[in-house]
Structure 1
Amino acid sequence: MKLDVTYISAIVLHFALGMLIYFNESLAKIYFLLALTYFLYRTVIAPDHLKTVEILKACAYFVGAELILRITKGSFSYEASKYLVILFMMMGMIFKGISGKAYPYFFYLLFLVPSIFVASTTLRFDANFRTNISFVLSGPICLGVAALFCFDKKVTRQQLSEVLLYVLLPIISLTSYVVFYSPSVKEFLTTTASNRTASGGFGPNQVSTVLGLGVFIMTIRLFVKSPNIGLKLLNTVLLVLMSYRAVVTFSRGGVIAALIAILGFLAIYYFKVSKRRRNEIIGVLALFFLSLFTTWIISTNQTGGLIELRYANKDHLGREKEDVTTGRGKLFMDELEGFISSPFFGIGSSRAKDQRIEIEGQGITSHNEVSRILAEHGIFGIIILLILIFKPLEMRTKNRTNYYFYGFLFFWFATINHSSMRIAAPAFIYALALLNVTYEKKTPVHRKQIRA
């Protein structure tokens, strides 16, 4: 039973890293600085033909590390991962340029600008203009810059798998941190509401989203990068652990987004591989469903059945909740009303949150990027959404080699509809769908000619 020693070593290292950071959070700052130095160095010294993949790996790592750095205040800014993705992608543009076919994303970035000028006249006098604008636009700008760089950039399937692994590794550290933060969830669960303690003391929505991304990538590895029974078992154990911690945050969005992305991936992957490979996939599929069943049984047992009530939209007493969206439907409708009131230029960046402060006394941030874009950007928001949805689909008609395409696109769309763009993950994963994935070149076999 042959195992990938390098892969296992990386997993053990990052699991131990999460544990060490839990016991001494000051280590998170050292971790951040070492990671930043390492990836800057690798990006600069990489030969020209490897620049693209090294930049993607750097971005991938900080996307995966975003939550553990936020929880422990390990980075220089709350939005550090978004800023670093923008930085590395812009370095990539300097080194490798951008495709002329990516011009719609240039217009996408331009269409974000008018809302800033509108916000200068609509935001409350005492609102922090710079902070409010950067909070709502850092995610969309991160997506636009990443899309500009990634569009039609060539990477091999093996290189893309490596990029996804760089996202996954720091998520393993996050999983480890959360496990040590709350080893048993039985002790503090009393309701079916999202739980901060089960989420490492941080926002359950964000933790669920990142762990859900980890579940998605781990599922990909189970099907694509597990050539022997040893790796299949290892990846299944990690999948169950990550899935369990995502489920017991009691934030459903990240779990559902992961399942949607997995369905998008499997639907394409199954029909792309050979008939012989499909037979093997059926066996792995059985293992995958067994892991999901195991996760649910453990989660139900550890939560005393509360998780079943949560997903049935009931409270801890078994009573049906009136609003399945837990208030998000109202936010969505409020923002659509903002679009109707100002359909041309919108109400301005961050004004949706600002209005809720004026009316309700608290600035609840939007959970839905679609309604927020429409409200705050007006007719430009419609154009933005059309670019984001139809440009990748148009590219797909000409290049069908990326069997992760729909998985990536589904993850992005599902995530921005329950968690907006609070984290860098949806922006980066969207950009990966725009890559031109190529087959690995087969190394020619040289046979020595035998002379008679």
Structure 2
Amino acid sequence: MKKEEAAYIYLLLFHAFLGVLIFAMPFLSKLFTLTIFVFGIYYIIENKNKNNEALVISAYVVSFEVLLRMTDGMLINEFGKYSILIFMLLGMVYSGFSKNGILYWIFLLLLIPGIILASLTPELNVDVKKIISFNISGPVCLGISAIYCFQRKISFNRVLGVITAFCLPLMALAAYLYLYTPNVRDVITGTQSNFETSGGFGPNQVSTILGLGVFVFFVQFMFNSKSLLLQIVNAGLVVFFAFRGLVTFSRGGMITAIMMIIILLGVIYFRANGQIKSKIGLIILISFITGLGVWGYSSFQTSGLINKRYANQDAMGREKKDRLGGREEIMNQELEIFIDNIIFGVGTGMGKYKRAEITGTEVASHNEITRMLAEHGSLGLIDLLILFFTPLFLWVNNRQNILALSFLVFWLLTINHAAMRLAAPAFVYALSLLKVYTHEKPALHRE
């Protein structure tokens, strides 16, 4: 076994051991949070971001965030987003950014009226500054990450390094979830999202990061497994994360993972020659059969309840009235608020309280698209158009970033069911803007 392969295996095992430690001594979670942040700053400064260390450490934080949240390890509530902001800004200090990324400066500027409007809202029995900070942290993290990544030249091998950084902390999460619920059958009683199989934390967020885990380990299997041992390890981890993601009974993360993999295989297939196409076809067939196997095992472990969950039925097999757990009503209300406040919206974070005036119930939005429309009005619509179309235009001119469309889909689907509570959709979106190359590294130059 080569040194690189051995190092990867040892790092996976080390992070699994970290998960065991955090499970046994949850107070260590805060220590890890501080360690990650301090090391990240040192890592970027020491290397002067010559090899995009800012991307590597940010990917690491993204994958660790859910475990730190579920073990109360966050020093501040939005640690993931704020630390990535700092890493991105520090990276830009050393290696600059493209001046052509003006669209993302416009994106950030268009958020300002909503912030001002919220700050001028008549007094509520809440900390308005805290509400604004909570709701704006995701978009700002996305904007700064996008400015850093916009047309940044990076080798495909370095992108795989970022993918590896995603993978490592997920092993700690995997170990923690296994120890929390070693026997899934004991805790599955219905078709609702399951907190027991999600480590006692929000199934929606856990499913999101497990779905990302399915994808990144699939990428490792496809492009970063030069030996049979690594192929077995990475394929096995794809299966494990798929199973654990399914039994959270939160559908968003798994549907997103499937779509990301389908798009990646499609991009590779249509770019490949005849001989490679036959290999891709075989991988698609094996993936499909494996997927059926994982589904069958999950169905067995949940006594068929997972089938009913994805068929939108309750435990008795009765069709549920809504398909999104009541979120359709919230989305419709936000669209109505958008129409009534079409220019500037009701202000950052104020959508929740505007809906409370209408319905008498305060419920947080799970959909970032309708939230942006309701709270930022037509400016939010412009921002959404910038976010959706810019990566597509860049991909047309740089199809060497074969992961770009999958990254874009992760952002788009995730913000539709989990908003931007995690840093993951903001940072992963930014990766779709990278200018990837596979030949020798060109001379460093930032426009």
Same structural fold, with TM-score higher than 0.5 when normalized by the shorter chain:
yes
Q: Aligned runs of 1:103-182 on 2, under 5 Å?
A: 103-122=102-121, 124-182=123-181
Alignment correspondent of 1:22: 23
Deviates more, 1:275-284 or 1:391-400: 275-284
* 1:269 Cα deviation after fit: 1.6
* 2:47 equivalent in structure 1: 46
What's the CA shift string for 1:255-284, capped at 9, x where partnerless?
Answer: 111111111211112223444333333333
Are positions 1:392 and 2:363 aligned together?
A: no
Aligned to 1:212: 211
1:334 aligned residue: 333
1:98 aligns to what? Answer: 97
Shift of 1:26: 1.2
CA–CA separation in structure 2 for the residues paired with 1:212 and 1:188:
21
2:82 corresponds in structure 1 to 83
CA distance in 2, matches of 1:27, 1:282: 46
Compute the displacement of 1:95 (Å): 1.3
- 1:281-292 aligned within 5 A: 281-292=280-291
Amino acid at match of 1:252: R
Is the 8 Å Cα contact of residues 123 and 354 (structure 1) preserved in structure 2? no
Kindly indicate whether residue 37 of structure 2 is the aligned counterpart of residue 33 of structure 1. Answer: no
Correspondences of 1:195-234 after superposition (within 5 Å): 195-234=194-233
Aligned-residue offset at 1:361: 4.8
Residue 402 of structure 1 corresponds to which residue in structure 2? 401
> 1:364 aligned to 2:363?
yes
Structure-2 residue corresponding to 1:376: 375
8 Å CA contact 2:253, 2:414 repeated in 1: yes
8 Å CA contact 2:110, 2:379 repeated in 1? yes
1:56 offset after TM fit, Å? 0.4
SS at match of 1:190: coil
Structure 1 residue 360, shift from structure 2 partner? 4.5
Q: Normalising by structure 2, report the TM-score.
A: 0.95
C-alpha deviation, 1:124, in angstroms: 4.9
- Cα offset, 1:232, TM superposition: 1.6
Normalised TM-score (structure 1): 0.94
Partner of 2:349: 350
8 Å CA contact 2:401, 2:436 repeated in 1? yes
Check the 8 A contact 1:105/1:148 in 2, yes or no: yes
Partner of 1:269: 268
Residues 48, 210 of structure 1: CA spacing in aligned structure 2 closer, same or farther, 3 A cutoff? closer
Query: 1:155 corresponds to which letter in structure 2?
Result: I
Residue 47 of structure 1 deviates from its aligned partner by 4.7
Q: Distance in 1 between matches of 2:123 and 2:274?
A: 62
1:394 deviates by 1.9
Counterpart position of 2:237: 238
Indicate the SS of the match to 1:61. Answer: helix
Task: State the shift of 1:57 in Å.
Answer: 0.5
Over residues 70-96 of structure 1, what are the superposed CA-to-partner deviations in whole Å (9 max), with x where a residue is unaligned? 111212112101001100111112112
Aligned partner letter, 1:238:
L
Report how far residue 337 of structure 1 moved: 0.4
Alignment match, 1:446: none
The residue type equivalent to 1:78 in the other structure is N
Q: In structure 1, what residue type is equivalent to 2:278?
A: N
Given that residues 49 and 91 in structure 2 are in contact (C-alpha distance below 8 angstroms), is that contact kept between their aligned partners in structure 1?
no
Question: Partners of 1:280 and 1:35 in 2: how far apart?
Answer: 40
Write out per-residue CA displacement over residues 310-333 of structure 1, whole angstroms, 9 at most, x where no aligned residue: 001100001111111111111110
1:247 aligned partner: 246
Asked whether the equivalents of residues 394 and 433 of structure 2 are also in contact (C-alpha less than 8 Å), the reply is: yes
Distance 1:11 1:269 in 2: 27
| Higher mean displacement: 229-238 or 334-343 | 229-238
**Count of residues paired in the alignment:** 440
3-state secondary structure, aligned to 1:324: coil
- The answer to whether the aligner puts 1:426 opposite 2:425 as a matched pair is yes
The answer on whether the counterparts of 1:105 and 1:144 sit within 8 Å (CA) in structure 2 is yes
SS at match of 2:188: coil
What is the CA–CA distance in structure 2 between the aligned matches of 1:111 and 1:93, rounded to whole Å?
Answer: 22
Cα deviations by residue, 1:387-441 (Å, 9 ceiling, x for unpaired): 1111112222322210001111111101111111110101111100001101142
Deviation at 1:103, TM superposition (A): 0.3
Residues 198-235 of structure 1 show CA distances to partners (whole Å, capped at 9, x for unaligned) of: 10000000000000011111111122222332222111
- Post-superposition offset of 1:123: 5.8
Separation in structure 2 between the aligned mates of residue 309 and residue 339 of structure 1, nearest angstrom: 35
Partners in 1 of 2:12 and 2:437 — Cα distance? Answer: 27
Q: What is the DSSP-based 3-state SS (H/G/I as helix, E as strand, rest coil) of the residue aligned with 1:186? A: helix
Q: 2 CA distance for matches of 1:4 and 1:277?
A: 25
**Structure 1: how far apart are the matches of 2:227 and 2:292?**
22
Deviation of 1:45 (Å): 1.1
Q: Distance in 2 between matches of 1:8 and 1:253?
A: 30
Measured in 2, the distance between the counterparts of 1:365 and 1:386 equals: 23
Distance 1:348 1:48, change over 3 A: closer
**Match of 2:36, as an amino acid?**
A
The separation in 2 between residues aligned to 1:150 and 1:206, in whole angstroms, is 25
Deviation at 1:291, TM superposition (A): 2.7
CA gap 1:424/1:228 in 2 versus in 1, 3 angstroms:
same
What SS is found at the alignment partner of 2:370? helix
- CA separation in 2, counterparts of 1:275 and 1:166? 33
Matched residues in 2 for 1:168 and 1:364: separation? 33
CA contact (8 A) 2:119 2:129 kept: no
- Does 2:60 match 1:58? no
Q: Which runs of 5+ in 2 are unaligned?
A: 442-447
Contact 1:223 1:284 in 2 (8 A): no
Letter in 2 for 1:341: D
Listed one character per residue, the Cα deviations across residues 305-359 of structure 1 (whole Å, up to 9, x for unaligned) are 1100000110000111111111111111000000011001101111111134445
Q: Deviations over 1:79-133 (max 9, x none)?
A: 1010011001111121122211100100100100101121123365212111111
Distance in structure 1 (CA, Å) of the matches to 2:113 and 2:93: 27
Residues of 2 paired with 1:298 and 1:424: CA distance?
31
Q: The residue matched to 1:155 in structure 2 has which SS?
A: strand
Aligned to 2:440: 441
- SS of alignment partner, residue 191 of structure 1: coil
Report if the CA contact (8 A) 2:194-2:249 is conserved. Answer: yes
Contact 1:236 1:288 in 2 (8 A): no
Residue aligning to 2:6: 5
1:84, 1:48 → 2: CA distance?
A: 16
The range that moved more, 152-161 or 13-22, is 13-22
